[in-house]
Chains A and B, each alone.
Chain A
Amino acid sequence: MSVVQPVLSVRDLRVEFVTRRGALKAIDGISFDIAKGEVLGVVGESGAGKSVTGSAVIGLIDPPGRIAGGEILLSGMRIDNLPPEEMRRIRGKRIGMIFQDPLTSLNPLYRVSEQLVETIRTHTNLSSSAARKRAIDLLADVGIPAPERRIDSYPHEFSGGMRQRVVIALALCVEPELIIADEPTTALDVSVQAQIIALLKRLGREHGTAIMLVTHDMGVIAETADRVAVMYAGRIAEIGPVRDVVQNPLHPYAKGLMGAIPSLESAADRLVQIPGSMPRLSAIPPGCPFNPRCPYVFDRCRVERPEPIQQSEHRVACHLYDQSSVRSEAVA
């Protein structure tokens, strides 16, 4: 569609967990792209497959989980079938990752300097003094005051927000093309969350890094992301520009999810709640996985799986928007 190649391109990705009772599909055929400098928000309830998608991209799905199909392309290069050693070289160098809890992401027994220098030297030929200098610059870049002094501290000597900045520095330390941020602010104080989000956004812009921001917090997505993918039971229900999806969601699940954002402007009297809960992986209903909770459900939803349909800038997986579907006008 465009001459510029996306940084990350996921094509029909499937991840399953092999158990004694058969394979459970954690990710069931999802596709999306992230362009250079773009922030893609991935949102959904816990268990929807957001984090698994992130782990799959960076090649850290642990057994019994495995990638069962599809392709993952990093700047056009296929990475989902690389040998472990080659994939390791990509991790940290071309794809960085930030985890939810900064308190536990850092090894408590090593100084921050040791962890930074170790990562830098794993992926570059820098001498240890050069790596240290780079590490200090990085800490300054992520907004840690007096980095020359703080660099030799241990993780427990930093506050939660500062630690998450260190984690971001670690993820960014060799200028990766893509950063996967898995709930980067969930464990932080509300006051610190905004700072971390602003930092991520600024760094992404300055370095042209593509960011995949996994969260269940629609507020964070609305504030940060350029585009958003709404996941449900291992599939993408809807994907599109963040303004459109927030203001004009198409998929009934997305409608419910957006209804759950308290908004001052719309001054709604009540928050919409979706009845029921997401199915467990072992009990995903046939057809559309959302059909038991969907207020607009009709017969086709219970038998046939909806494929993504392009609707202006959105892509939505719902039979309501299928031209051949009888009842489409009823809601649209």
Chain B
Amino acid sequence: MLAFTIRRALQAIGVLLAVGIIAFAMFRFAGDPVNQIVSLDTPAAEREQVRRSLGLDDPVPVQFVRYLAQSIQGDFGVSYQFRQPVSDLLAERMPATLELAICATIFSTVFGVLMGVYSGLRRDSFLTKVFQTVSLVGISLPTFLIGILLIYLFAVTLGWLPSYGRGDTVQIGWWSTGLLTVSGLKALIMPSITLGLFQMTLIMRIVRAEMMEVLRTDYIKFARARGLTTRAIHFGHALKNTLVPVITIVGLQFGSVIAFAIITETVFQWPGMGLLFVQAVQNVDIPIMAAYLMLVALIFVAINLAVDILYTVVDPRLRTTIRQPT
């Protein structure tokens, strides 16, 4: 268990280092850090002085270590477009993205598991066929089209839900939340569905396949032979075994959800990190791009570790080394 955790932690550090190298390369070579400080019409001599003061004539490894050290302290440089520290910009926008990603994950998990269990238990029912069609469409349609379709239906035609933005937000410390106001909650609905739909179909397919697989196992047959009730077998024995891979998927996909939020945030003009990132790409604002990459990598790695730990909680087989068998 300990060895396992250490190995995982080392892998995580490896991934972060690799991403750090890419981010640094982007920051240093694709963009010119001098541009963060000076304007385009600054004379060359002055630029050279800034260059030296930024340490850009030091050996590259030294610069890399310095960049990493600064990044760890949350200093990602200054945005070309906004002339503000990147860390401030990201911190300001992070709550919006995290709230959206969490709502989308809850939506996709709840509905994905429900639909998956149902269609795994009733393989030939009409509703199962409906779910499967929805899942095929959900996987085929580009996210932004789904978003546009929802906006057209519920905002333009029916006028029930706001088409863009977060609605009213409440400030709690540095965290701005849309979860405490009616307009904020209403604004969350369509973006969450748009963002969660793909994950939902993914979870549904996995739960369904897993459920069908588990129902064929010997221990389910044995549970039936012991006369347990259908409910105990399906929702006690089968579901618990099905949920092991679901936890992995939900966890591992959370990073993807945050990254996919780029598209959803653009469709709904959601003031989160994704929208900031798209604007950065459009305007070639390298410091924001590099910082966003590192941040997403960090979230990915943190979640992977959390999933590994959660795994051992659910599946006792992975705990063997802790409790000594007698």
Could you say which residues of chain A place their CB within 8 Å of the CB of B325?
153, 157
Give which listed residue, A99, A108, A122, A146, contacts B229 with CB less than 8 A: A122
Q: What separation, in Å, do the CA atoms of A327 and B320 have in the docked complex?
A: 66
Q: Which residue of B lies closest to A107 (CB)?
A: B219
Task: Tell which of A92, A101, A107, A154 touches B227, judged by Cβ atoms closer than 8 Å.
Answer: A92
How far, in angstroms, from A150 to B1 measured CA to CA in the complex?
Answer: 22
Given contacts A109-B314, A156-B317, contact A99 B226 (CB under 8 A): no
8 Å CB interface, B221-258 against A: 221-230, 232, 236-237, 240-241, 244
Inside 8 A of A119's CB, which chain B residues have their CB? 226-228
Residue in chain B with minimal CB distance to A84: B230
The B interface is mostly helix, strand or loop, or mixed, namely helix
Closest to B217 in A: A104
**Cβ of A170 and Cβ of B219 under 8 Å apart?**
no
B218 touches A154 (CB 8 A): no
Q: How far is the CB of B244 from chain A (nearest CB, A)?
A: 8
Chain A residue nearest to B216 in the complex (CB): A62
By a CB distance below 8 angstroms, the chain B residues around A90 are: 227
B173 sits at the interface (CB 8 A): no
Q: How many chain A residues touch B (Cβ–Cβ < 8 Å)?
A: 35
Q: Are B222 and A123 in contact (CB under 8 A)?
A: no
Nearest-neighbour CB distance to chain B for A128, whole angstroms, equals 15
User: Across the interface, do B316 and A154 meet the contact criterion of CB distance under 8 Å?
Assistant: yes
Tell me the complex Cα distance, A330–B230, Å: 56
A-B contacts at CB below 8 angstroms, number? 88
Contacts of B314 in A (CB 8 A): 109
Q: Is the CB of A97 within 8 A of B222?
A: yes
CA of A170 to CA of B229, assembled, Å: 15
Give chain A residues whose Cβ lies under 8 Å from the Cβ of B219.
104-108
Does B48 belong to the interface (CB within 8 Å)? Answer: no
B173-219 contacts to A, CB under 8 A, are 217-219
A119 to B229, CA, bound (A): 10
A99 to B316, CA, bound (A): 23
Judge whether A60 and B225 touch: CB under 8 Å: yes
A99 touches B225 (CB 8 A): yes
| Nearest chain B residue, comparing its CB with the CB of A89 | B227
Known interface pairs A60-B221, A60-B224, A104-B219. Does A122 touch B232 (Cβ–Cβ under 8 Å)? yes
The complex places the Cα of A118 from the Cα of B231 at a distance, in Å, of 13
**A296 and B274 alpha carbons, distance in the complex (Å):** 83
The CA-CA distance from A90 to B228 in the complex, in Å, is 10
B88 within 8 Å of A by Cβ? no
Quick check: is A149 within 8 A (CB to CB) of the other chain?
A: yes
Q: Which residues from chain A contact B221 at a C-beta distance below 8 Å?
A: 60, 99, 105
0 or 1 for each of A92-114: is its CB under 8 Å from B? (1 = yes): 11001101110011111111000
CB-contact partner of A122 in B227, B240, B320, under 8 A? B227
Q: Is the CB of B227 within 8 A of A157?
A: no
- CB closest chain-A residue, reference B222: A105
For A89, the chain B residues whose CB sits under 8 A away are 227
Chain B contacts of A96 at CB under 8 A? 225-226
The answer to whether B227 touches A91 (Cβ under 8 A) is yes
CA distance A150 to B244 in the complex (A): 25
Question: Does B32 have its Cβ within 8 Å of any Cβ on chain A?
Answer: no
Whether A88 sits at the interface, judged by CB under 8 Å, is yes
Please encode chain B, from 290 to 326, with 1 for each CB lying within 8 Å of some chain A CB and 0 for all others.
Answer: 0000000000000000000000001111001001011
Docked Cα-Cα span, A271 to B182, in Å, equals: 84
Judge whether B317 and A91 touch: CB under 8 Å: no
Contact indicator A99/B320 (Cβ below 8 Å): no
Contacting pair B316 A118 (CB below 8 A): no
Question: Are the CB atoms of A122 and B225 closer together than 8 Å?
Answer: no
CA distance A100 to B225 in the complex (A): 13
A101 CA to B219 CA, complexed, in Å: 10
- Nearest residue (CB) in A for B243 is A109
- List, in ascending order, chain B residues with CB within 8 A of A156's CB: 316-317, 320
CA distance A146 to B230 in the complex (A): 33
* Chain A residue with the shortest CB-CB distance to B317: A156
A58 interfacial by beta-carbon distance below 8 Å: yes
Do B227 and A170 touch (CB < 8 A)?
A: no
Cβ-defined contact, B228 with A107, below 8 A: no
9 shortest A-B CB distances, which residue pairs?
A92-B227, A91-B227, A97-B225, A92-B226, A104-B218, A157-B325, A154-B316, A105-B222, A107-B219
A92-B227, A109-B316 are known contacts; what are 16 more A-B pairs with Cβ within 8 Å?
A: A60-B221, A96-B225, A96-B226, A100-B218, A101-B218, A105-B219, A107-B241, A108-B315, A109-B241, A119-B226, A119-B228, A122-B227, A123-B227, A146-B326, A149-B326, A170-B222
Point out residues on A near B: beta carbons under 8 Å.
58, 60, 88-93, 96-97, 99-101, 104-111, 118-119, 122-123, 146, 149-150, 153-154, 156-157, 167, 170-171
- 11 residue pairs of the A-B complex, CB under 8 angstroms, read A88-B227, A88-B229, A89-B227, A96-B225, A97-B226, A104-B219, A108-B241, A108-B315, A109-B240, A110-B240, A119-B228
